[in-house]
Structure 1
Amino acid sequence: MAHRLLLLHTASPMVNRQPPYGAPPPPAQPYGQPPPQQYPPQPYGAPQAYNNYPPTPPSLGYGPPQIIQWNGDADAHALRSAMKGFGTDEKALIRILATKDPLQMATIRDAYQRIHRRNLEADIKSETRGWFEEGLCALVRGPLMQDVHLLRSAMDGPGTKEKVLSDVLLGRSNADLNAIKSAFQHTTRQRLEDAVRGDLSLKTERHFMIVLQAQRAEDSAPVVKAEIDRDVSELYNATEGKVGTDEMKVCSILSSRNDNQIRAIAHEYRVKYARSLEDVIKREFSGHMEDALLYQLRHGLDKYMHQAQLLEDAMAGLGTKDHLLVSRVVRSHWERQNLDNVKGAYHQRYHKSLASRIKGETSGDYERLMLACIGENV
């Protein structure tokens, strides 16, 4: 898989040659995106100070509250009209809520509370049911509070929904991860690290503790040949090059490098050892740790294709994993450029549209909401 994903980058007309080490290899850009910003070269052997570079800004909805030049009063009135009295206008709920960005959604929530003295999420819960309700509530919460909701539900009661933990916590920027930690503690009065520590065990717990340190290399940190070679050698010595596996070394490297660095590591590993890093992880690990490491690797190789694979995973096999489908569709939809790339990646890999696949797995208002979230007219 890793080899096939890597070829995807080099096959793109916009990425038709391997860039020199000193600038990061371009991220996955096969779906109509402009070339990425290139960073100035760093000499071989320079110290690994990955976070002395400009920080990656928080995603929309994860930064400080913002006042935007957009008024949500009309939508707040329309939402109340759609839910009060006899019956519910589900189409109006979909039309209003599935088309807003995170800042607009926050403005609507505030307007609804200010005008009607009511909680929008609570009203939706009283008027809708099933996965349609869950999808609407995921939208109303906005991306940050939806992450908090998912974390709480994943760790509530016996067992842990490991895929949900991976979806929320892995591959995130330091800014987003710190926002999640802060919102979780504000909401639950418990540190996220303590909650995760109580739900995981042994080395998987240690892996997620590394992630929650939020010390990943910023996106602006360059790819340095000497550092990549060192990481490749350490990964080999921690896996194929010894009896047993140094799990924490592998976890540490994949949890602390940015996407460009992970992509370069995977490429150099195959060049040097004639084996994909994905195959090595599958052979050396198992269970949740294997899944988490593959998640980090695939996200680094091509985040759009990875999201497409996650969406297919939610629908593949016997029965739809609706909780994953709802959360993954809603997360992909928050940024339009990201969504367009995910839809392009899905079509490239599975030779069908994401919309047609969702239609085959959902029905009724639930189907219409999921389709609206991916930009379809319903």
Structure 2
Amino acid sequence: MSYHHPYPPPNQPPYPPYGAPQAHPHPPYPQQPNPGYGGPPPGQYNRPPPAHPGQYDRPPLAPPRQASYPPHGQPPAGPGYHSPHPSHPPYGAPPQPFPPQGGVGYPPGPQPGPYGGGPVGGYPSQYPPQQFHSAPPSQPSLGYIPGQLAPGDFRQEADGLRKAMKGFGTDEKSLIQILSRVDALQMATIRQTYSNHIRRDLYKDVKSETSGYFRDGLLAVIDGPLMHDVTSAREALKGFGTKEWLLDDVLVGRSNADLNAIKAAYERTYGRSLEKDVQSDLSFETQNLFGMILRANRHEESFPVDPRTTEEETKSLHSATAARVRNNVQEVCGIFARSSNNELRAISQTFSARYNASLEKHIDKEFSGHMKDVLLQMLRGALDPAMRDAELLEDCMKGMGTKDDKLVRRVVRVHWDRAHKDQVKRAYHHRFGKDLMERVRGETSGDYQRLMVALLE
């Protein structure tokens, strides 16, 4: 049975455009999304069809961009934002086949949907049921293929970085200006160019010339999304105790392709198995859940949503948790770990319709501790990844003091995908009635503040 009427995401507010689109010094080539947290529910944002990407011609470095924001509570002026993903149809539109290949510097195979997923929604009815289990896999997100570089000559950026650190004192503003506005492949190319052209290690130079959370942010950007995930996973696991929030940020809700890239890079870097390190650091049910996650065998986003399976798994979730002395955690974890974001959205809507209750609130009531955090992060990433990330950023800043380590990592992670970053800013304003950049500006200071704000522009 083919299913070609995808479930719409329940209760999704149409966030208004967050300011006019900004120009970037390096126009994006056909960009694979990053860093792999599941695509946004389609149709949630105003997406005019983007122009066809052209040749990757790199202009000179542009002056810093000045963002303009509307007064709080008023709809912003200017056109809606443009998605860099031409293959994404609006939610509810007829499903589209995968687009033709040919993007610069990308491997063959189907282009993924947002953050490593496939196109949203099921295939048209002409696809027979036997193809359900051979759905095209997603490709790794931008920056998750080792050795992949952006085309072009980046000696100007390499020279600018060296000049900013050479001699007495450091030109922090130049470091921020250059490093805050490049994407993952451009960053990899700049780092290689710096090594070949300057004959020095960019990471080591920046590490020796800067300090504090400013240095942490710059080094995270220089590492790129894959190696930043790898080093973050290692930091979450090493030493006494586990940084559960950091492990969740790196591994929960990721595409199979990105998880496999992280596991392979972790083993190359540390000579250790990420699966074994996670298993030895966790215990009880969370150990089993992360074991399922790290198998990296979620249904792909191109896998059509089957309403019969959705009904069965919705009933299974309810019977595994409702009116029981002890929840059947294994059943719940199995459903969450194997379901695509499309399927989790369908299950959530079916649960609400059948039981007149929110699945998110049900999970929040029935579970506790780390298990609850992981399940909710998986579900929220499927329902509304922009809102999930907006709430994770607010979690870094609310209450007494700022959780700077969390803030640096989460801002850098959001920064890698410009379209998603724009969505997060809109979602943050919708949820908290505040400007995200102003909120971050009020929680930080000095060069650290300037870097965080620049990464969010």
TM over 0.5: yes
Alignment of 1:287 onto 2:291: no
**Contact 1:329–1:373 (CA under 8 A) maintained in structure 2:** yes
**Residue 357 of structure 1: CA displacement?**
0.7
Task: Please give the TM-score of this superposition, normalised by the length of structure 1.
Answer: 0.90
Rounded to whole Å, the distance in 2 between the matches of 1:109 and 1:26 is: 31
Amino acid at match of 1:186: R
Residues 81-230 of structure 1 mapped to structure 2, 5 A cutoff: 81-230=163-312
Alignment of 1:7 onto 2:11: yes
**Residue 69 of structure 1: CA displacement?**
2.2
Equivalent position of 2:123 in the other structure: 40
**Contact 1:162–1:288 (CA under 8 A) maintained in structure 2:** yes
SS of equivalent to 2:334: helix
Amino acid at match of 1:31: Y
SS of equivalent to 1:7: coil
Equivalent position of 1:22 in the other structure: none
Amino acid at match of 2:432: Y
Rounded to whole Å, the distance in 2 between the matches of 1:311 and 1:6 is: 23
Residues 283-362 of structure 1 mapped to structure 2, 5 A cutoff: 283-362=365-444
SS of equivalent to 2:170: coil
**Residue 32 of structure 1: CA displacement?**
2.2
Rounded to whole Å, the distance in 1 between the matches of 2:430 and 2:202 is: 38
Equivalent position of 2:338 in the other structure: 256
Rounded to whole Å, the distance in 2 between the matches of 1:151 and 1:94 is: 26
Distance 1:50 1:89, change over 3 A: farther
Q: What 5-or-longer segments of structure 1 have no aligned partner?
A: 14-24
Distance 1:142 1:101, change over 3 A: same
Rounded to whole Å, the distance in 1 between the matches of 2:235 and 2:149 is: 30
**Residue 117 of structure 1: CA displacement?**
2.4
Q: 1:247 aligns with which of 321, 326, 329?
A: 329
Rounded to whole Å, the distance in 2 between the matches of 1:362 and 1:68 is: 32
SS of equivalent to 1:6: coil
SS of equivalent to 2:167: coil
Alignment of 1:58 onto 2:62: no
Residues 359-370 of structure 1 mapped to structure 2, 5 A cutoff: 359-370=441-452
**Residue 57 of structure 1: CA displacement?**
1.9
Rounded to whole Å, the distance in 2 between the matches of 1:222 and 1:257 is: 11
**Residue 316 of structure 1: CA displacement?**
1.1
**Residue 241 of structure 1: CA displacement?**
4.8
**Contact 1:31–1:345 (CA under 8 A) maintained in structure 2:** no
Equivalent position of 2:45 in the other structure: 31
Distance 1:218 1:203, change over 3 A: same
Rounded to whole Å, the distance in 2 between the matches of 1:336 and 1:106 is: 17
Rounded to whole Å, the distance in 2 between the matches of 1:222 and 1:89 is: 52
Q: What 5-or-longer segments of structure 2 have no aligned partner?
A: 1-8, 17-38, 48-88, 96-121
**Residue 42 of structure 1: CA displacement?**
6.1
Rounded to whole Å, the distance in 2 between the matches of 1:287 and 1:345 is: 26
Distance 1:214 1:50, change over 3 A: farther
Distance 1:51 1:321, change over 3 A: farther
SS of equivalent to 1:80: helix
Rounded to whole Å, the distance in 2 between the matches of 1:345 and 1:98 is: 22
**Contact 2:149–2:188 (CA under 8 A) maintained in structure 1:** no
Distance 1:297 1:177, change over 3 A: same
Amino acid at match of 2:383: L
**Contact 1:178–1:214 (CA under 8 A) maintained in structure 2:** yes
**Contact 1:28–1:304 (CA under 8 A) maintained in structure 2:** no
Rounded to whole Å, the distance in 2 between the matches of 1:68 and 1:138 is: 19
**Contact 2:15–2:426 (CA under 8 A) maintained in structure 1:** no
Distance 1:82 1:252, change over 3 A: same
Instruction: List structure 1 runs of 4+ shifted beyond 4 angstroms.
Output: none
Distance 1:26 1:316, change over 3 A: closer
**Contact 2:40–2:385 (CA under 8 A) maintained in structure 1:** no
Aligned length: 357
Task: Please give the TM-score of this superposition, normalised by the length of structure 2.
Answer: 0.75
**Residue 46 of structure 1: CA displacement?**
5.6
- Identical-residue share of aligned pairs (%): 48
Amino acid at match of 2:44: P
Rounded to whole Å, the distance in 2 between the matches of 1:228 and 1:250 is: 14
SS of equivalent to 1:159: coil
Amino acid at match of 2:12: L
Rounded to whole Å, the distance in 2 between the matches of 1:95 and 1:295 is: 33
**Contact 1:311–1:328 (CA under 8 A) maintained in structure 2:** yes
Rounded to whole Å, the distance in 1 between the matches of 2:338 and 2:124 is: 20
**Contact 2:441–2:449 (CA under 8 A) maintained in structure 1:** yes
**Contact 1:217–1:256 (CA under 8 A) maintained in structure 2:** yes
**Residue 29 of structure 1: CA displacement?**
3.5
Distance 1:171 1:346, change over 3 A: same
1 or 2, which has the higher helix percentage? 1
Rounded to whole Å, the distance in 2 between the matches of 1:343 and 1:26 is: 14
**Residue 12 of structure 1: CA displacement?**
7.7
Deviation readout 1:320-351 (Å, 9 max, x if unpaired): 11111111111111111111111111111111
**Contact 1:304–1:342 (CA under 8 A) maintained in structure 2:** yes
Which range moved further: 355-364 or 116-125? 116-125
Distance 1:65 1:51, change over 3 A: farther
Amino acid at match of 1:8: Q
**Residue 55 of structure 1: CA displacement?**
1.2
Amino acid at match of 2:137: P
**Residue 41 of structure 1: CA displacement?**
4.6
Rounded to whole Å, the distance in 2 between the matches of 1:105 and 1:357 is: 27
Rounded to whole Å, the distance in 2 between the matches of 1:342 and 1:328 is: 12
**Residue 30 of structure 1: CA displacement?**
2.7
Deviation readout 1:259-316 (Å, 9 max, x if unpaired): 1111111111111112211222122211111100010011111111111111111111
